[in-house]
Amino acid sequence: MLQRLIPGHEQANQVLADYIEELDAQSPDMTTDYLGGNLLVHEHPAVQWLRECINKTVMDYFKHLGMDYGIKWSLQGWANVNRLGDYHDLHNHPHSYLSGTYYVRLPGEPPSAGRRRDLRPGCITFYDPRGAVNMNAIKRDPYVEMEHTVEPRNGMILLWPAFLHHFVHPNLSETPRISVSYNVVLNWSNDYLPEQ
C-alpha cells in the first residue's frame, strides 16, 4: 500500500471541492453511480492536476516494486460526497489492477456518538485477504491484526492492490466528506506475464 500527502494540495483541493459540489448538485446519485462516468477525463484544471498526481503515484508505486518495464494503464475515477451517516460497505474493485482514493475535503471532529470509543468516522479500513492467518499469531507477529485502518487527511492519496477488501466508515459529521476514488486499469500486454 502506498500512502502520501500531495504537496501544495490546499489550493487545488478548494477548486476541486467546488467543482465536485457543482457536479453533485447536477447529479444527486453521482456518488453511488460510480460507473456512470469517468471524472478523471474531465478537462477541468483541478481534475487535470489530480490526474497528474495519480499517474505520478502509480509510476512511483511500480518503480518502488522494481517493475521497471513499460506498463500502460488508464484511469477510471469518480467523486464521493459522503454526508452524515454515509459509508461504503466492504468491497473490492474487480477488473482493476490497483485502486486508490484521494481526499479532497474532510470534516473536522465529529460530534460525540455515545459511549463507544472504537468508532472510526470517515476512516478507511483494509482487511488481510488471507482468511484466518492470525489464528496462530503470537506477540509481535505482524499477522496479529487482520485489519489496517487509515485516518485520512486533506491532500492524502492512497493506492493499493484492487483485490484488497476495504470498508469506509460512516461520516458522523454534518459536514460532507469529499474524496475521489479511482481504479488503475491495465492496457493488457503479454509482456506483463511473469516468466516461469
Whether 195 is covered by a domain: the verdict is no
Whether 196 is covered by a domain: the verdict is no
Report pLDDT for 169: 92
Residue type, 177: R
The residues with which 195 forms a beta bridge, in sequence order, are none
Rounded-to-integer distance, Cα 165 and Cα 158, Å: 14
The burial class, CB within 10 Å (0-12 / 13-18 / 19+), for 177 is buried
**Reported confidence tier of residue 122, pLDDT bands at 50, 70, 90:** confident
Rounded-to-integer distance, Cα 161 and Cα 157, Å: 14
- Asked if pLDDT for residue 119 goes beyond 90, the answer is no
Residues 6 or more apart whose CB falls under 8 angstroms from that of 27 comprise 33, 36
**DSSP-derived secondary structure for 77-128:** EEEEEE-TT--EEEE--TT-SEEEEEEEE--SSPPP-TT-S---TT-EEEE-
The burial class, CB within 10 Å (0-12 / 13-18 / 19+), for 14 is middle
Report pLDDT for 115: 67
Average pLDDT over residues 148-152: 93
Q: Which three cell numbers, joined as nine digits, stand for 163?
A: 483485490
**Coil, strand or helix at 140:** coil
- Asked if pLDDT for residue 34 goes beyond 80, the answer is no
173 or 45, which is more confident = 45
In this structure, are residues 181 and 101 in contact, taking their beta carbons and an 8 Å threshold? yes
Whether 193 is covered by a domain: the verdict is no
- Residue at grid coordinates 499477522: 143
Q: Total structural domains in the chain?
A: 1
- Asked if pLDDT for residue 110 goes beyond 70, the answer is no
- Asked if pLDDT for residue 11 goes beyond 80, the answer is yes
**Residue 125 domain boundaries:** 2-109+118-188
Whether 39 is covered by a domain: the verdict is yes
Report pLDDT for 82: 93
Report pLDDT for 113: 63
- Asked if pLDDT for residue 45 goes beyond 90, the answer is yes
- pLDDT tens-digit map of 134-145: 888 888 887 788
The whole-model pTM stands at: 0.92
152 or 145, which is more confident = 152
51 or 174, which is more confident = 51
In this structure, are residues 159 and 125 in contact, taking their beta carbons and an 8 Å threshold? no
CATH of the domain at 78: 2.60.120.620
Whether 181 is covered by a domain: the verdict is yes
- The mean pLDDT value of the chain amounts to 91
Whether 31 is covered by a domain: the verdict is yes
Whether 194 is covered by a domain: the verdict is no
Rounded-to-integer distance, Cα 64 and Cα 4, Å: 14
Whether 102 is covered by a domain: the verdict is yes
Residue type, 139: K
Rounded-to-integer distance, Cα 95 and Cα 77, Å: 14
Tell whether the torsion through CA atoms of 159, 146, 119 and 109 is positive or negative: negative
